[in-house]
Amino acid sequence: MGTSGPKYQRIKDELRAEVARDEYEAGAPFITQNQLRERFGVSSTTAVRALNDLVTEGLLVRRRGRGTFVADPDDRPAEAAPAHRSGVIACIISGQGPYQSEVLRGIESGCSERGMRLFFSDSAVQTTETGHADHGASLARQDQALRQAVDDRVDGIILYPVEDAPGAGILDEIRRLRIPMVLVDRYFPGHAIDAVTADNYDVGYRLTEHLLADGHERIATLWGETQCTSVHDRMTGHKQALRAHDQPLLPQLTALRSYTALPEDERRQLLTGLLGSPEPPTALLCAHGFAVATAAADLAALGVAVPDEIVLAGMDDAGPYDLLPLTSFAARLPAREIGGRAVEQLVTRIAERAAGEDPYRGAEQIVLPVRIRTSESVPVRLRTVAARRP
């Protein structure tokens, strides 16, 4: 095997040449994924990618319950040897923050490796008053982008959804047409659609454990979005960690409420109420980097110093800067890997559809591990200056 080009491409070239030399009989079982791994010394991901592409090109066929076989020469494309089918993928993402940008980079890289074309749509609609997304308008734009993808007869769809699921009508139509779709970051309960997410339960659980171990028994949560599975899973992990360590679930601290979407005076009123309670929180568990930055500014305006009087933790690193200098603990999500795995899963489903199978059969939720970083891993800590008012 040569030394240039991606591994899966080199494997495909070698296998394609072997089929052209009639080393495999038409209709005979083809080399399996495990055999590919052993022969070429590659991962399952690379082996599956090579096989899926050869199925998509028509050189191989899949037969449900039986395996992968060499296609009959009469059924192969006229120029199957050098050809690589270039698919068209619609990518619909809500918003353009740092985290979404990293997910998109993973998607772009995965499509580029496979020679696939990518059409990008941003479904977020910003309000003029607060600068935050208008939920109703964003949901409508998302449905419109999905319908456009259907009209364009794309080969597959990658969707980073806005809060709540799209209209049932468009989802039903996509499934009826068997257009493969993979969700990223979150999933739709009750809908059998592939999804690639970070381990959001682990985010909530492990950050809470770190804060508890650091002596913080009263932890208040501050959220941005509230109606999506990533948030619900993080809240579940947070509550389970509290239960596991025999800590009470206090409604005023564990309320699922939006913080970053509030006007400035309402945000500071919320913080004033929390900090003025008989047992105020000593830590704020923030939804993301933007919530961390907003909370730090609001606390400074209220005369509360970070981390001397209260500490911050971030549940993901989407924000205007690195979280660790200002937080005690922060989760690092595998954003680019999420995008790459979404493309990989979509290519698998596209190949299944080409083989006459239902791409929604056996839908999977692929959950990727997260990393928790601590302030001890950075050489500099930031402190906010409490600007106390007379």
DSSP notation for 243-307: HHTT----HHHH---BSTTS-HHHHHHHHHHHHTSSS--SEEEESSHHHHHHHHHHHHHTT--TT
- Is the CB of residue 156 less than 8 Å from the CB of residue 350? yes
Is the pTM here over 0.95, yes or no? Answer: no
Instruction: State in Å, rounded, how far the first CA of the chain is from the last one.
Output: 75
CA distances from 55 to 70, 193, 250, 353 (A): 9, 22, 55, 10
Q: Minimal CA–CA distance to 259: which of 223, 214, 227, 206?
A: 223
What is the pLDDT averaged over residues 28-43? Answer: 88
Place of tokens 């495999």: 24
Phi then psi for residue 367, to 5 deg, are -110, 120
> In whole angstroms, what is the distance from residue 102 CA to residue 111 CA?
14
Q: Minimal CA–CA distance to 46: which of 5, 107, 101?
A: 5
> In whole angstroms, what is the distance from residue 141 CA to residue 280 CA?
41
pLDDT at 129: 43
pLDDT at 371: 93
Residue 6 pLDDT grade (very low, low, confident, very high; cuts 50, 70, 90): low
The answer on pLDDT for 86 being more than 60 is: no
> In whole angstroms, what is the distance from residue 372 CA to residue 280 CA?
25
The answer on pLDDT for 93 being more than 80 is: yes
> In whole angstroms, what is the distance from residue 118 CA to residue 278 CA?
54
Q: Minimal CA–CA distance to 335: which of 229, 200, 155, 180?
A: 200
- Residue 147 belongs to what H/E stretch? helix 135-151
Place of tokens 């809500």: 94
> In whole angstroms, what is the distance from residue 226 CA to residue 230 CA?
9
- Output DSSP code: residue 81: T
pLDDT at 250: 94
pLDDT at 79: 46
pLDDT at 386: 53
What is the pLDDT averaged over residues 4-19? Answer: 78
The answer on pLDDT for 5 being more than 60 is: no
What is the pLDDT averaged over residues 303-332? Answer: 84
> In whole angstroms, what is the distance from residue 268 CA to residue 344 CA?
44
- Is the CB of residue 156 less than 8 Å from the CB of residue 346? yes
pLDDT at 322: 63
pLDDT at 282: 97
Question: Per the omega criterion (within 30 degrees of 0), is the bond before 359 cis?
Answer: no
User: What is the overall mean pLDDT for the chain?
Assistant: 86
Q: In the chain, pLDDT over 90 holds for what percent of residues?
A: 54
pLDDT at 65: 74
What is the pLDDT averaged over residues 296-323? Answer: 87
Phi then psi for residue 22, to 5 deg, are 65, 35
The answer on pLDDT for 16 being more than 50 is: yes
The answer on pLDDT for 335 being more than 70 is: yes
The top-scoring range by mean pLDDT among 23-27, 150-154, 364-368 is 364-368
Reading the block at residue 191, the tokens are 């809908």
> In whole angstroms, what is the distance from residue 291 CA to residue 334 CA?
19
The answer on pLDDT for 103 being more than 90 is: yes
- For 380: left if phi > 0, alpha if psi spans -120 to 50, otherwise beta; the answer is beta
Per residue in 372-386, pLDDT (tens digit) is 998 764 444 445 555
Per residue in 128-169, pLDDT (tens digit) is 444 466 777 888 899 999 999 999 889 999 999 998 777 778
Residue 200 pLDDT grade (very low, low, confident, very high; cuts 50, 70, 90): very high
What is the pLDDT averaged over residues 84-109? Answer: 85
What is the pLDDT averaged over residues 344-354? Answer: 93
Amino acid at 374: T
> In whole angstroms, what is the distance from residue 326 CA to residue 380 CA?
9
CA distances from 239 to 23, 201, 208 (A): 59, 10, 9
pLDDT at 94: 84
Reading the block at residue 266, the tokens are 């309402």
pLDDT at 323: 65
- Is the CB of residue 94 less than 8 Å from the CB of residue 56? no
